[in-house]
Amino acid sequence: MRRPFVAGNWKMNTTAASGCELARAIAEAVPTSRDAVDVLVAPPLPYLDCVDDELAKSAVMLGAQNCYHEKEGAFTGEVSPQMLADLDVDYVILGHSERRHILGETDEDINKKVTAALAAGLGVILCVGETLEEREAGQTNEVLARQLSGGLKGLAADQLAGGVGGNDDLVLAYEPVWAIGTGKTATPEMAQEAHAFLRGKLAEGWGDDLAAATRIQYGGSVKPANAAELLAQPDVDGALVGGASLSAENFLPIVEAAFAQV
């Protein structure tokens, strides 16, 4: 059975004080054993260090929201995977729709980052998902296949699994763009259909074993009210949570819903 994985993406929110307070509340509430469910928070870059301090004695993992594909050099404002690893980061979120659609990242850009992050020993949460226009045009599977193959181009199955800290190196996150921050959510059936399609494409490209082992999170207006129904789907292995991860009162019930699945 794939271990559920709930990750909170704080995006460009919190202060040092509020972020550390939030991390502390989550760390205190999550069981210290990671045998059942993995939990991660991804604060803004400036707060990685202080949040890591709050998580130090807990089972909650530390995530970053982005990285660059070079180890070092004259790349003003960028952060390398090696720098993140130096800060005890476990996973980095790559290919998020906001980076694709607001900041113009291409599948080629994301592929370079995925490759560099894995080589640096980081786990990767690779985000894929369609816009409303693409869904209405019946292009969801085409978009998912293109983003998956583009993001993982040139990578072999043994580079995508096998573990940072006992975790799989690659996690996918299906995040329908039309459901992010809009209050709209894919129905459990829609989420399951997309997750099953992604698992099938993994099997085609990287083998049945990797496909069966890879966790696929759902991301798109996940809330305490809909988490249990979404997480009950057979191919939904957790959640990538945005707005609801900004308060312990909303995030922890989603974590509890994941524990209820095991």
Q: Indicate the annotated binding residues.
A: 9-11, 181, 221, 242-243
Smallest CA-to-CA distance from 169 within 232, 101, 90 is with 90
Which tokens hold the place of 65?
A: 């929201």
Residue 170 and residue 161 in contact, taking contact as beta carbons nearer than 8 Å: yes
Of 73, 46, 58, 69, nearest in space to 115 by CA: 69
Distance of CA 58 to the CA centre of its chain: 20
* 101 assigned to active site: no
The active-site residue out of 54, 98, 130, 175 is 175
Tell me the three state secondary structure of residue 22: helix
Displacement of CA 65 from its chain's centroid (Å): 9
Binding positions for substrate: 9-11, 181, 221, 242-243
Q: Can 175 be counted among the known catalytic residues?
A: yes
Handedness of CA 171, 176, 181, 187 (dihedral sign): negative
Of 54, 96, 98, 105, catalytic: 96
**How, if at all, do strands 5-9 and 238-241 pair?**
parallel
Q: What residues are labeled active site?
A: 96, 175
